[in-house]
Structure 1
């Protein structure tokens, strides 16, 4: 950046992380232009938060209204392919815009399908539930503020797995009391002879 950002709002760790992510997203842009974009977004955040000490909820609301840093970077440099890489201490990466719009409903549909398949074909239902559950957990970790559908898909997947286990145990215990072909069965005629 061309000149360091100053002011109390820039000391906020959420704002600082957001602006650092934006600077990384703009790594393909000339340094002076990158500094101008980051400074402009920082000023916008500062103006939106106003004077005084903003709460963490205030900061999150302003950052959510700004949207993912990828969108800002793409608007700053049309044609730029943006990938945000955060350092390990930095937090969760933002998802590509639009991914969560279709992923949640698709996962819910697949989780429902896996639940419906339990009595029909548990050999398909269980792997489908495991995959949907894994993707739902990944979605919950990746997305901010849009985890409701991912939680629901994970819950339905877990229910599918529990019902599959219960069905398997029921079938195993029901078959335990039946005779096997090697068992001897004594048959007596009805007249007692």
Structure 2
């Protein structure tokens, strides 16, 4: 059930700024509540599912969207298509690393009539994206767990130093106004 929820969360919410499902999964893996491979697979299938859905929507909606007479909508589609086509070689592979762009690139690929080859490249980019975020967050999470006491003390010391600097700055400002 937890892997199904991870799949659905990835399908619906990933690429909206921060890869929250990936970060949540890495925290659960570190805590021993999830296994790495099933979590990785659930996330990847969620990414693939979204891409396939939006790719097919782009193909199916092109005739409908091209008939819309509103200049605003046509201008947006023209601009987005122009950006997509001009940077397609790099954008298709790395689109998931750019918030929100990863959600719309498969749609634009379908809308502009690209074939299954483009979708396969997007899926390869999904693999790079997920691997980069999941394995780096697992590594960082393990480091934080291992050195949490030291990091807590360092954070406390840094906070105290910043407070003292701020307090001294405020005192100087008050003394200048009064003096």
Q: Give TM-score scaled by structure 2 length.
A: 0.29
Higher relative contact order (CA 8 A, sep 6+): 2
TM (normalized to structure 1)?
0.27
Choose 1 or 2 for highest CA Rg: 1
Between Structure 1 and Structure 2, the one with more helix by share is: 2
